Amino acid sequence: MNHRLTIFLILVLCSFLISGCWDREELSDRAFDLAASADLNKDGTYVTAAQIIIPSRSGQSSTGGTGSDKPFFIETGRGKSNLESIQKLRQKLSRVISRGHRRNYYVGEALAKQGIEGMMDVFSRDPGNRIRLDIWVVKGSTGLDALQVPYPLEKIPSVASLKIHRAVGGDTGTSYLDFLMATSAEGSSPTLPVVDIVQGDSPQKTLRFYGRAIFSKDYKLVGYLNFVEGAYRQWLLDGISYLDIVEDIPEAGGSVGIFVTKFGRDIKSSLSSTKKVKMEIELTGEGHVGENNTNLDLSQQKNLLLVQNAINAKMSQRVLETIKKVQKQFGTDVFEFNHAFNRQHPREWNQLKGQWASIFPAIEVTTKVKINLKHIGLVGPPLQLKESEITK
């Protein structure tokens, strides 16, 4: 009986410890920042903006269109530093900012070129910033402009870039952490995903996933990889889940489009007697045909192999061109060649790691892509061709 009473008293005491709000901040006293941005003005001042949810409208069925029924509003602050601009923003809010739900942070191109070291310093010191955050560079525009772009499919427009990135096969919720890891690793250089603001035939502007932004070790933007180049880089890093490619097949007088859904990679490094670093890269995958604009009947094995070999040869060249572009134009190792060399040759790495910035641009690289086309769809030749026009 005494034993049961003791357990009961312990449970009662524990209930006092786990109940209540420790920081004494009620939900009604918090402003939930779902996305934010940072920019640099021409006069050298900084602009911080936040997209803040309006709780009373968050349950409405309306999406992120225009009008007074939007479930969010945007507030800004300007200052001589990143922190001062944040302080100026807070002075306009009646509630304490909560960043635990923030998913996206947009950086304007001007600030990215000038350098985001100060911004990242403020980020890393604030425990309120979640580590699973995506930071984006806005190509050719400002972060504030990206926050202001409406997106009809999402109630909160800033969520769109994250979902677009996921839909095209990229990793989400990792760019902030990846950036920090790359800046702290010997020989590595950081990258961030990129969006740009585009307008097609419709009058409404929209966000488009563009590719990757390449940064130097001092946190300055030095250039971009486009969508396909960025996808090849992700393949090299084993960080891609989907890729669609269309290649011309001169032997067949047309083009073929494929979807790749399974990916593999193998990177072998070596060091010659003259201290020349070499990388042998093999990228593998499985895919299926999504479009056939040739006169080939792809149900015939020889025709399918012709297409498969042609696409593999072209993609091998494309991957090599992407690597050489980074080597020549940017000189920054964003492919983690340093990690591969370190794993495979730890003793030699200890001798070369301090020189990697000068070694990387001169690395001799060979590439080979081997995609196995498993399916051709429901038909072999294009349906619009007559029987006499089809190559069996």
How many structural domains is the chain composed of? Answer: 2
pLDDT bin (cut points 50, 70, 90) of residue 60 is low
pLDDT reading at 368 higher than 50: yes
- Please check whether residue 21 lies inside any domain of the structure: no
- Give the residue from 175, 208, 225 where a domain finishes: 225
Q: Where are the beta strands (DSSP E) in the chain?
A: 30-40, 46-53, 72-79, 96-98, 104-108, 134-139, 191-198, 206-215, 221-225, 243-249, 254-271, 277-292, 364-375
Same domain membership, residue 261 and residue 113: no
Task: Report how far apart the first and last C-alpha atoms of the chain are (Å, whole number).
Answer: 88
Query: Which pLDDT tens digit goes with each residue over 19-53?
Result: 555 555 565 667 778 899 999 999 999 999 999 88
pLDDT digits (tens, 9 = 90+) for 44-56: 999 999 998 887 7
pLDDT tens, position by position, 224-268: 999 999 999 999 999 899 899 999 998 888 999 999 999 999 999
CA angle 172, 52, 29 (to 5 degrees): 120
Give me the pLDDT at residue 275, please. 86
- Indicate if the pLDDT at residue 14 is higher than 70: no
Residue after which a domain boundary falls, among 225, 250, 282 = 225
pLDDT tens digits along 119-139? 988 888 887 778 888 999 999
Mean pLDDT of the chain: 87
Query: Does the pLDDT of residue 328 top 90, yes or no?
Result: yes
Do 121 and 96 have their domain in common? yes
Domain of 155?
26-225
The pLDDT of residue 137 is: 97
Does residue 9 sit within a domain? no
For residue 109, what pLDDT band results from cuts at 50, 70 and 90? very high
What is 215-229 written as a DSSP string?
E-TTS-EEEEE-HHH
Question: Of the candidates 202, 225, 248, which is a domain's last residue?
Answer: 225
- Mean pLDDT value of segment 318-326: 97
Residue 14 lies in a domain: no
Q: 105 pLDDT exceeds 60?
A: yes
Q: Do 169 and 122 reside in the same domain of the chain?
A: yes
User: What is the average per-residue pLDDT within 347-368?
Assistant: 94
* CB-based contacts of 291, cutoff 8 Å, min separation 6: 246, 255, 256, 257
| Structure confidence at residue 67 as a pLDDT band (50, 70, 90) | very low
Q: Which residue has the higher pLDDT, 162 or 196?
A: 196
- On whether the CB atoms of residues 161 and 103 are closer than 8 A, the answer is no
**For residue 65, is pLDDT > 50?**
no
Same domain, 123 and 204: yes
